[in-house]
Amino acid sequence: MRRRRPFRSWILLLVSLAALGYFGGRWAISIYYPLEYREIIFARAAEFQLSPYLVASVIRNESGFRPNATSSQGARGLMQIMPETGEWAARQLDLPYSQDLLYDPDYNVRLGCWYLSELKQEFAGELVLMLAAYNGGRGNVQKWLNNRQWTGEHHTLEQIPFQETRQYVSKVLRDYGRYERIYTNPDQRER
């Protein structure tokens, strides 16, 4: 027996299609690529010299913009900070630390941006390496490079030994490009 689509789904689909036509697609697309916590993201990205759209892409893939998200491994908050990493980052930034603070959006994004900036420095600004290290661990990335398991280049992502990390890097890069296209349009810049 074929299942019928609920009435609300049809309404949402029709509204999305209408918006797509009326607003040239950008508004409808931005529903799927939200920029929640915009002020926090832009402030912390600027503080650590990162693209806010990169940060938004990481958040979208890590937590789906849910500040109370907790992974099965215990990562917490918008940028899915592991408690040990959070404690280490807080010490480096001379901030107070508790695991509950990882659910605070500003605190979490601050630690996550600091960590991304550390990875940026460690991997000489190579975005693919930064993202792989953010997901798969900096030690693993160094090992893959040293053992020549992976060249560290974008076109060789399939060499990354961890499937989750391969997919993560690919999705974040895809979303980063989409965030830039959606939100850097002059009409969208100040929204």
Residues marked active site are found at 62
Phi/psi at 81 (nearest 5 deg)? -85, 125
> What is the maximum alpha-carbon separation in the chain?
61
DSSP-derived 3-state class of residue 130: helix
Torsion of CA 138, 149, 152, 113, to 10 degrees: -20
Task: Tell me the C-alpha distance between 143 and 51, whole Å.
Answer: 27
Picking from 129, 120, 134, 137, the residue whose alpha carbon sits closest to that of residue 159 is 129
Picking from 63, 68, 116, the residue whose alpha carbon sits closest to that of residue 89 is 116
Please name the residue ranges forming H helices in the chain. 7-22, 26-32, 38-47, 52-62, 83-92, 105-122, 127-136, 138-146, 163-183
Task: Tell me the C-alpha distance between 69 and 44, whole Å.
Answer: 20
